[in-house]
Amino acid sequence: MSALSSNSHHAQAIRCVSPDRTPTANDNGFPRRRSSVSFDDGNIAVLAGDYYFIVHRGLLCRHSEYFSGLIDKLDASNAETCTNLDGRPVLRLADSAEDLSLLFHALYDGLNSLLQRQTNLRIAFVLLRLSAVYQFENLHHEALEIMLKAWPSTLAHWNRRERHIPHWDSPLARDILLPHPIAVINLARQVGATELLPAAFYDLSRHLPSSATAGFVDPHDSFHHSLPQDDLVRLLRGREASSRFFSTFIVNELEGRKPSELCLNRAHEDPDRRLDCQGAFEYVTFELLRDVNGVVIGRTSDPLFAMLYAYDMQGKLADARTCDICRGEFGTVVTFARDRFWRQLPDWFGVDLSVWG
């Protein structure tokens, strides 16, 4: 968080408001109090846009040296001015009232109090940024742990994420549940959370290159996010490397694959059934090659999914069904291939990590 340790632009002076004047929603030009995170015994007003919070300076200073410094400067400047709201000195911050409301709720009630909804990851995204800016170290660690559930460092956690987040089947659900990977990559760079980067890059590599290059507009605040040029280059190089890995997997492990020496269909009394497993492997190969153009399921650039799908097809689709022995042997191949794939993500996307996978 040291990269964000000097953020003086977040604290600004405001015009004087009489201490006996209580702003209300009907006051023309006056900010409005956010009652959900305001306390009658609070001793500082934090102003964000058109809203303000009455909170306790002791709590802020205890958990953040950055806030402590801001408040010390505020006390010095207030000795010569009458800047106040509800009789309290005013600290004006550049962040939105909605984001600061999440921050104060987390500080007063704990982060878990906010994590009872579908938007947990979006909340964690906001708090990871704010906790870095304002140097709330404990909250920063908690928010990062939640973000790592969606952009993890282990394949086991990635598999769990893919089972629980329906972002491919429902784009709208993905927009609600997850911050866009471009925003995650940019935030990880800003706050030094490099452990998020390999999975976030891989997540983004599953989008079309034109989409990743163009960036996206966040529907929540209409802000346009895009990757800096060097990270865009890393993304495209990593995407190409993952594509080559998958092509090699198809050639080495599927094209012309023979049934197991212990294949249960080899000794079948029906001669046609003896070729069932070989025919199933040929069908799986065809389906994977056909999906290169998004014809089958539209997951054109997701090798981790595609390798697992090649295995799953053999137990679900009649034309792809193999015997238990052949399917088990291929399952072992898939497990090792996906593990090798995952371990190479940092190198492919140019991320230097001491621990991965």
Domain locations in the chain as residue ranges: 2-94, 122-227, 240-345
Side-chain half-sphere exposure of 180, counting CA atoms within 13 A:
19
Going by DSSP bridges, is the β-strand pair 224-225/216-217 parallel, antiparallel, or unpaired?
antiparallel
* HSE, side-chain direction, 13 A CA sphere, residue 240: 7
Sign of the CA dihedral with 322 first, then 327, 330, and 335 last: positive
Identify the residue with better confidence: 23 or 273: 273
Q: Tokens representing 49?
A: 């846009």
Distance separating alpha carbons of residues 68 and 36, to the nearest angstrom: 23
d(C-alpha 241, C-alpha 246), whole Å = 9
Q: State residue 3's pLDDT score.
A: 41
The verdict on pTM exceeding 0.95 is: no
Which residue, chain included where needed, has tokens 């704990």?
110
pLDDT in tens, 55-65: 999 999 999 99
Cα angle for residues 267, 269, 275 (degrees, 5° grid): 60
Comparing 117 with 87, the larger pLDDT belongs to: 87
Q: What is the pLDDT of residues 164-219, one digit of tens each?
A: 775 544 544 555 578 899 999 999 999 999 999 999 999 999 888 998 999 998 88
Its sign, for the CA torsion 96, 102, 104, 105, is positive
Q: What Rg, from alpha-carbon coordinates, does the chain have?
A: 27
What is the helix (H) or strand (E) element at residue 278, kind and residue range?
Answer: helix 276-290
Name the residue type at position 75.
D
Helices (DSSP H) in 192-269: which residue ranges? 197-205, 209-214, 229-253
Share of the chain above pLDDT 70, in %: 83
